[in-house]
Amino acid sequence: MTTAPAHLLIGHRGAAGVAPENTVAAFEVARSSGAQFFELDVQLSADGVPFAFHDPTPARTTNAAEVFPGRENDPVTSFTWAELQRLDTGSSFSGAFRGERIPHFDDAVEVARDAIGVFIEIKSPVTSPGIEHIIVERLRSDPRWQRLVRDGRIEVLGFDAASNQRFAVLAPEVPLQQLVYRVPDAETLARISTYAGQVGSNHRWLNVAAVDRVRAAGLGMSVYTVNAERNFNRMVALGVDRITTDFPVEFSRKHPATVGHAVAVR
């Protein structure tokens, strides 16, 4: 069992400040950044393939308007995996990433290997029915995912409490995080503590009283998405456990003693 740094650093959507979000390129930046984890969003294609993508439609981050005119605002989950692979998801960020493709879920573990852990956000489970079962199947059947789970380097998270509870029943061995916009009241936190070990809140509204409520419920405190130095310092002062940022390289270099460089394992 290794000693975890005081604050775990998580690369948001890989390293979304310096590479196209939810791409292999972003995951690779995060892997070499000194962060302990990177986060990705997972949805299901129309034919049931898990893939890394944040938005409900492909309009913002891909060239879907060119490849599939008139479908760019359709649900991204209405596209088959083969169709998704025809899209360029790098050029909208920078011409240097032209040709970057939407990753398969398993591309994340191929990048991570033994160098970094992975936060798996189940995105919009209503539009990806059965996604919890599929993620559990991948975590249990692929030796690469199995190794990360065994070493305590996987956490599943999401805003949808019902989805998180389904996942908790399916895979009680995998740590869970309930995402919220603001830290809720003590009664709600008590319910969350029955299936999750962490609460992840927007950093903007976090204060001492909110952190105290989370601690009183026996939960860990995570925050997203911290990109300014003053906000990072405020989160450190509040004593949060995890800090998610679009710029893991920058914060890892600026605060090596605060975030450490070893991956935490159970």
Closest CA to 191 of 218, 166, 158, 209: 218
pLDDT (tens digit per residue) in 55-113 = 999 999 999 999 999 999 999 999 999 999 999 999 999 999 999 999 999 999 999 99
pLDDT of residue 260: 58
- Residue 7's pLDDT band, with cuts at 50, 70 and 90, is confident
Instruction: Give the Cβ contact number of residue 135 at 10 Å.
Output: 24
Dump pLDDT digits (tens) for 199-255: 999 999 999 999 999 999 999 999 999 999 999 999 999 999 999 999 999 999 998
The residues that are catalytic are: 12, 54
pLDDT tens column, 98-121: 999 999 999 999 999 999 999 999
pTM (predicted TM-score): 0.95
pLDDT at residue 172 greater than cutoff 90? yes
Q: How far apart are CA 188 and CA 18, in angstroms?
A: 36
For the purposes of burial, counting CB atoms within 10 Å of the CB of 47, is it exposed (0-12), middle (13-18) or buried (19 or more)?
A: exposed
